Amino acid sequence: QEQQRSSDNGEPSGTAGKPMLEVLKKTGITNVAVVVTRYFGGIKLGAGGLIRAYSHSVTETLRLAPKELHTTRTR
């Protein structure tokens, strides 16, 4: 059964969880959880900047992460 969930966890609505989930959907990668931690450095990024930052974090992580193909086999 397919399940999807995202959370902005304190960020402005729609600027963190949804963009990260959309990156995962586009790649077709399943059975994965992604957590991004952002440390505020005093510069406000705005909604567009937050969306780009979170999307880029997930994109780069998936690009660099090792991947395994899992298939169901029957005897």
Q: CATH fold of 17-64, please?
A: Ribosomal Protein S5; domain 2 (3.30.230)
Q: What digits encode the pLDDT tens for the residues 21-39?
A: 999 999 988 889 999 999 9
In this prediction the pTM is 0.84
Structural contact between residues 54 and 19, judged by C-beta atoms closer than 8 angstroms: yes
The most confident of the ranges 22-31, 53-62, 63-72 is 53-62
Hey, how many other C-beta atoms are within 10 angstroms of the C-beta on 21? 17
Instruction: Evaluate whether 23 touches 55 at the Cβ level (below 8 Å).
Output: yes
Mean pLDDT of the chain: 92
Domain boundaries, the chain: 17-64
